Chains A and B, each alone.
Chain A
């Protein structure tokens, strides 16, 4: 599977494998859906921990391709021990099955390693609206997601999930999550 830097919109979908007679024909999908269509379906699969963003927003879907009649979806973990990874794989499989793709295989790809640079702009905006400060290369949030004050301090380098840290606004006094930049 080719490496796909950045977003995977232009993921190559090679299909040079002949259909084998031994596989049952897909009943409900006479035409193979386009890569854009599949990515749009995946963009409707929410992150289980932060449901306002999708798995595509998160940048963890690294590629899709057909292997014969099997759709292979390559997923990269955010943090190596993140327990949400398994749930995400199951959710992707279920979502594609619901769309009529019976034969789906999820593969794990660890290189290149996931980076918060792969978060989509839409995802960043939704995090902010949800009350989670999006990642910033400065190493901390530039403003409070609630009141936009820049008077913020760190409570802890870690938070409720591996991808977040705890911060606090000194103006509105609200604590908030910051999506760690890695």
Chain B
């Protein structure tokens, strides 16, 4: 039995653990959402592209949640964190748990996240924590490719037919209120930023808005004024109803057959 003194010595680095969950839960939840398209995309090439994107995100999840599990030091694995936590323990952004909708909505969600993800990973390459810098350096190459494709596709569909334009504008209108949460700083971010591990997310807002404006202009899409932001995902305070439904699918096997392995 641990004495109070020894449990203090081995005190969990709560801020670091939470930050790593946020990274890993974003890629896990979006990776799972995107994988839902496998076998259903409008054309074969898009099906393959989405499946490959999902694969990258799940691979990155293994690194982030693997490190989170190490930092926690309770003997849990990345798989345990992914498959054995319930909704209230997830720390992903509300944006990534939103349902796929039509192909346009999926691509818009992807671009809105990819652009943020790219800026964040670029900054994390200079993290004071070598383990985080290493994962970021690996992931940034893949995410650079993701944003290239999602931005091109947003432009192609936005500046496409009347039908595709209408759907992309509707997707942007629907998803815009989920953008702001990416840049909200809380006490975890503040502590991580002070320690030089993570950039202050608010500092990514200006370059994000500039990149977004450029892509949306080419896509002939317009963003509504106003900065209302749904919040509660990254703090875990209040996820949308969609995450729980998603987890019943994603975690079904471990819920039905606890501990199943092969």
Contacts and interface: CB of A to CB of B under 8 A. Distances in A.
A30 to B, nearest CB: 39
A80 B130 CA distance: 17
A81 B133 contact: no
Interface string B59-94: 110110000000000000000000000000000000
A162 B139 contact: no
Nearest to A115: B141
B36 interface: no
**Majority secondary structure, B binding face:** helix
Given A158-B49, A158-B52, A111 B59 contact: no
A166 interface: yes
Given A113-B137, A113-B141, A156 B45 contact: yes
B29 interface: no
Contact of A162 (B55, B134, B137, B138): B55
A6 B207 CA distance: 34
Nearest to A163: B52
A43 B137 CA distance: 27
Given A80-B60, A81-B57, A160 B48 contact: yes
A111 B148 contact: no
B148 A80 contact: no
Interface size class of A (residues with CB under 8 A): 20 to 34
B145 A81 contact: no
B49 A156 contact: yes
B63 A110 contact: yes
**Majority secondary structure, A binding face:** loop
Contacts of A82: 55, 59
Interface string A115-127: 1000000000000
Interface residues of B, number: 26
Contacts of B214: none
B137 A80 contact: no
Nearest to B138: A113
29 contacts: A80-B56, A80-B59, A80-B60, A80-B62, A80-B63, A80-B138, A80-B139, A81-B58, A81-B60, A82-B55, A82-B59, A83-B55, A110-B135, A111-B137, A114-B138, A115-B141, A156-B46, A157-B49, A157-B145, A157-B148, A157-B149, A158-B48, A158-B52, A158-B53, A158-B149, A159-B48, A162-B52, A162-B55, A162-B56
Interface of B: 45-46, 48-49, 52-53, 55-60, 62-63, 130, 133-135, 137-139, 141-142, 145, 148-149
**6 smallest beta-carbon distances between A and B, as pairs:** A81-B59, A80-B59, A111-B134, A156-B45, A81-B55, A158-B49
